[in-house]
Amino acid sequence: MTRMAFESSSLSQIRFSRRSACGSLLALAAWPAAAQFRVEISGVGATQLPIAIVRFRDEDKTNQSPSAIIRADLERSGAFRIVDTGQASFDEASRPDMAQWRGRTADALVGGSVTRLADGRYDIRFKLWDVVKGSELGGQSNAVETPELRLAAHRIADFIYEKLTGEKGVFSTRIAYVTKSGSRYTLRVADADGENGQVALNSGQPIISPAWSPNGKELAYVSFERQKAVVFVHTVATGERRAIADFRGSNSAPAWAPDGERLAVTLSRDGGSQLFSIGRNGGDPRRLATSPAIDTEAEYSADGRFIYFTSDRGGSPQIYRMAPGGGGAERVTFSGAYNISPTVSPDGRTLAYVTRAGNAFRLVVLDLATPGAQPLPITDTSDDEHPSFAPNGRLLIYATRAGGRSVLMTTTLDGKIKARLPSQTADLREPVWGPYGR
């Protein structure tokens, strides 16, 4: 990456490129994945690497379009500008004309192929070229079952992202969220691009606050199926589930400790909404703090040094943090009279949360590493909720309201690149981004 030339694209160039790419994608029904995306680019001077990803040879013989999936992944990351490739298609063994691709302003180029194997699987291959230097940067071959073709494409996007930015990609991770359709609530697990959604739980009662275990195998959440808020832990692969907090009153806001052995929860069993720590099987509840106020929405920092949480102990809801064993709390937010739903980046440097300004509830980010830093709004919507960091800390997923419905968006931390995840008719809420590995 460091040896590759960056290009600081002007807004008009980005817009033009996006529009022409969109037009061609929408015209081609064979590329359904990318066609469902609406990537919004705002702001000037986003530093993006221009990359061309041609159609893979024989990809139209599958029910997926790996090249379109990779393009959409990389574009959504905000780190890349997608160069229009028209009808170009070649495979990993080709020797593309680098001068020609330089002329099309691409700094990197990807080609590949999909081949049906005798056992019914697909062999998906690709190669990544450095157009500026005219050299190969790597490639892979992977044999997968048909249902794993999307995942294979996401893994290629991860490879490209890491090769060119030096950071791990998050495209093969998973997200969880809740859909509401009429009076039906469904907890779903999907690919990070919102596709390939699978049902984890159907209920006639609300489900809120899903939280991934650190190993990505379990989801904790709050279900109202017992006519009150009860915290469950649910093994995604088997559907096995257990109530871990079902005390008198309400039980809510589960947050996994980084070791996966305990969770922070909000319990009202002793009066008020107070923070407790409880074992992953529901044993040994310990009170973390005692306040006459609401304490809730706990979230551990990745290094385990802090629990961030929302409290109105100062008269209005603000974000505080304390040691994981409890005790004295330190106020973190000072700007605004209503700050809720904290989530901290994996490196511990950035806090994202929702602030209320007038009647607008807006996602903001706060630089924790710079004393006195002011929160920066990164959306222009007014019903933002439930932000959650991607495991590489470069993207946030959140819920907001658009067109009278609740939708899920991803955004870069500067707010410049946003993508709306696909949805049909249901309201989508309570998104949470899973860890690496699946």
Partner 1 sequence: MKSLHRHLLAAVAAASLAACSSVPLDSQAPVESRTGATSTTGAGTGGGASSSQTRVAPVDVTGTSNVNFSNLPRVVYFDFDSYVVKDEYRPVIEVNAKALTTNRKMKMAVEGHTDDRGSSEYNLALGQRRAEAVVKSLTLLGADPTQLEAVSFGKERPAVQGETEEAWAKNRRAELASR
Binding site for partner 1 (CB under 8 A): 182-184, 201-206, 208-209, 222-229, 248-250, 252-253, 266, 268, 271-273, 294, 296-297, 310, 317, 338, 340-341, 354, 356, 359, 361, 383, 385-386, 429-430
By the 8 A CB rule, do 125 and 139 touch? yes
CB of 309 to partner 1, least distance (A): 10
- What is the distance between the alpha carbons of residues 340 and 361, in angstroms, rounded to a whole number? 10
What single letter denotes the amino acid at residue 159? F
C-alpha span between 249 and 286 (Å, rounded): 17
| CA distance linking residue 174 with residue 194, whole number of Å | 8
Please say which residue, 184 or 287, places its beta carbon nearer to partner 1: 184
Q: How far is the CB of 130 from partner 1 (least distance, A)?
A: 45
Q: What angle do CA 295, 301, 306 make, to 5 degrees?
A: 60
Nearer Cβ to partner 1 (17/343): 343
Pairing between strand 350-357 and 307-311?
unpaired
Closer CB to partner 1, 94 or 203, in the complex:
203
Compare residues 125 and 429 and give the one whose CB is closer to partner 1.
429
Shortest Cβ distance from residue 250 to partner 1 (Å)? 5
State how far the Cα of 409 lies from the Cα of 193, in Å rounded to an integer: 10
The continuous run of DSSP H or E covering 154 comes out as helix 149-165
Give least dist CB 228 to partner 1, A. 4
133 or 226: whose CB is closer to partner 1? Answer: 226
Nearer to partner 1, 21 or 175 (CB): 175
Minimum distance from residue 273 beta carbon to partner 1 (Å): 4
**Of the two residues 93 and 337, which places its CB atom closer to partner 1 in the complex?**
337
The minimum distance between CB 265 and partner 1, in angstroms, equals 11
SS3 48: strand
User: H or E element: which one contains 279?
Assistant: strand 274-279
Token pair of 70 as six digits: 């990779």
Do 416 and 18 meet the contact criterion of CB atoms below 8 Å apart?
A: no
| CB of residue 271 to partner 1, shortest distance in Å | 7
* 187 Cβ contact list (under 8 Å, min separation 6): 176, 177, 178, 199, 200, 201, 203, 207, 210, 219, 221, 234
DSSP state of 59: G
